[in-house]
Amino acid sequence: MCSGRIDPTFVLRAFSKGADGVFIGACHLNECNYTTHGNYHTLNMVLLLRKILEHVGLNPERLRMAFMSGAEANLFIENVNDFVKKVKELEPLGRSEGLDEKGLKLRLSTITELIPYIRLVERERLRAPVMSEEEYHKFFASDELKRLFSETIVEKLAISQILSLLREGPLTTREIAKGLGLTPSEVSKHLNTSSRHRLVRYDESQKRYALA
Query: pLDDT tens string for the chain (212 positions)?
Result: 788 889 999 999 999 999 999 999 999 998 877 777 889 999 999 999 999 999 999 999 999 999 998 889 999 999 999 999 999 999 999 999 999 999 999 999 999 999 999 999 999 999 988 888 999 999 999 999 999 999 999 999 999 999 999 999 999 999 999 988 889 999 999 999 999 999 999 999 999 999 99
pLDDT digits (tens, 9 = 90+) for 51-78: 999 999 999 999 999 999 888 999 999 9
3-state secondary structure of 183: coil
In a domain, residue 10? The reply is: yes
Q: How many domains does the chain have?
A: 1
Three-point CA angle 40, 52, 117, nearest 5°: 75
3-state secondary structure of 200: strand
Query: What does pTM read for this prediction?
Result: 0.90
In a domain, residue 190? The reply is: no
In a domain, residue 168? The reply is: no
In a domain, residue 172? The reply is: no
CA 18 vs CA 11, 23, 93: distances in Å: 11, 14, 8
In a domain, residue 83? The reply is: yes
In a domain, residue 200? The reply is: no
In a domain, residue 132? The reply is: yes
How far is Cα 168 from Cα 211, in angstroms, rounded to an integer? 10
In a domain, residue 188? The reply is: no
How far is Cα 186 from Cα 100, in angstroms, rounded to an integer? 23
Q: Does residue 11 contact residue 5 with C-beta atoms inside 8 Å?
A: no
Domain that holds residue 67: 3-142
